Amino acid sequence: MSKRAPGFVIAATGLRAEARIAARSAHVRAVAGGGNRARLERLIERSVAEGGQAILSFGIAAGLAPGMSAGTCLAGSTVIHDGAAYAADPVWTASIKAAIGGTDPITIAGVDRPLTSPAAKRALNAETGAVAADMESHIVGRLATQHGLPFAVLRVVADPAEREIPSAALAGMREDGAIDVRAVLAALLKQPGQLPALLRLAADTRRAMASLLRCHNLLGVGLGFGDFA
C-alpha cells in the first residue's frame, strides 16, 4: 500500500497557467484537465486517493450575465450541470468572498465544451440564471460530493458575455492544459479575419489571469481552506 501524502487542497483547473498560479500556495496540489473531462476526473481521483482533503475549482470562466467585465472575481455558491446542482461548502465560500471582495457568491454553470458565441452565453444565462460558466466546476462538485469532501469555486471572468471566441483560440488547447501557439497561428493563417477578435480575447485573458493571481495572493495558504489557512 502506498504511503498517503500529508493532507492538501486539490486545485482543479483547465489550463496549466492556472495550475501554476494555484500551486504557489502551500498545502495545494494543482491539476490541469486541459478541457478533457476524463483526464480531469482521473487527476482528481488520484489526488483524493493520495491525501486530498478538499477541492477548489480554480481559474478563468466565461461571463454569462451582461455588464460583467474581464477580470471580475467570483466565488461560486452553487454549480449546476445537466439538471444536477452541487452546493459549495458555505464556510469556505464565505472565506473566499471575504478575502477577494467583489460580488456575493453566485451560481456557476458547468459546461462540457466552450461557449463560443454571445448567443450561447445569453441562452445559458436565461435557462439557468448562472452568471458564469466553466468546464471544471461541475466535475469538482460531482466528485467532491461522491467522496464526501468540501469544495469551493473561485473563478475570474475572462471572456465577457458579449465576447465571441474565435476558433483559432480553441485550436491551441492541448490535453495537458498547455497552449500550442503554433496551432493557434496555423488556424489564424487559414482565417486571418479572426485576428481582431483574437487580440481582444488575449487582452481580456491577460486581465483575468492578473486578477486570478491577485485573488490567489489574497487567499494565501491552502487557498482559503480552513484546515490550512
Q: Per-residue pLDDT tens for 1-46? A: 233 346 899 999 999 999 999 999 999 999 999 989 999 999 999 9
Average pLDDT for 163-167: 90
In one-letter notation, the amino acid at residue 189 is L
Please write the tens of the pLDDT for every residue from 91-104.
999 999 999 987 78
Tens digits of residue pLDDT in 62-113: 999 998 999 999 999 999 999 999 999 999 999 999 999 877 889 999 999 9
The confidence score (pLDDT) of residue 185 equals 87
Quote the CA–CA distance of 24 and 221 in Å, as a whole number.
Answer: 9
Q: Quick one: the chain helix, strand, coil %, rounded to 5?
A: 45, 25, 30
Distance CA 8, CA 30 (A): 10
Neighbouring residues of 108: CB distance < 8 A, sequence distance ≥ 6: 57, 61, 74, 76, 78, 79, 80, 130, 131, 132, 133, 134, 137, 153, 155
Which SS3 state, helix, strand or coil, does residue 16 take? helix
pTM, two decimal places: 0.92
- Distance CA(73)–CA(155), nearest Å, equals 6
- Domains contained in the chain, CATH given: 8-164+206-224 (3.40.50.1580)
For 48, other C-beta atoms within 10 Å of its C-beta total 18
Q: Evaluate if residue 150 carries a pLDDT over 80.
A: yes
Burial class (CB in 10 A: 0-12, 13-18, 19+), 39: middle
Q: What is the model's pLDDT at position 229?
A: 55
Q: Which three cell numbers stand for residue 74?
A: 467570483
Return the C-alpha cell found at 14.
483547465
